[in-house]
Amino acid sequence: MKKILFSLIFTLFTVQLFAQDNGVEMADKLRSDGKIYVVVTCIVIILVGLLAYLFSIDKRLKKIERENLPKN
């Protein structure tokens, strides 16, 4: 019950924060200069690289697990 109450309280706080529309000056400046696309592209490249790395680790780990399983 405590967890549900805390979750509800935190959700209400975040809804209140979304209601404040101050705008981010840095993002507005980057958007007006057209550089926001460079930032988004860099973030996407980093995330794709991390995902590819994680999938390669998972593939290698599955191979090692298959090799080390005891045979019945």
Is the whole model's pTM more than 0.85, yes or no?
Answer: no
Model confidence at 72, in pLDDT bands (50, 70, 90)? low
Is the residue at 3 inside a domain? no
Give dist(CA 64, CA 53) in Å, integer: 17
Give dist(CA 24, CA 14) in Å, integer: 17
Is the residue at 39 inside a domain? yes
Give dist(CA 65, CA 63) in Å, integer: 5
Cβ neighbours of residue 39 closer than 8 Å, sequence gap 6 or more: 30
Is the residue at 13 inside a domain? no
Q: Which domain holds residue 25?
A: 21-72
Is the residue at 14 inside a domain? no
Is the residue at 33 inside a domain? yes
The confidence score (pLDDT) of residue 64 equals 93
Is the residue at 9 inside a domain? no
Residue among 70, 53, 50, 49 at smallest CA distance from 61: 53
The confidence score (pLDDT) of residue 9 equals 80
Is the residue at 31 inside a domain? yes
Is the residue at 5 inside a domain? no
Taking only the tens place, the pLDDT of each residue in 47-69 is 999 999 999 999 999 999 998 88
Q: Look at the chain and report how many structural domains it folds into.
A: 1
Taking only the tens place, the pLDDT of each residue in 6-41 is 788 877 776 665 555 666 677 788 888 888 889 999
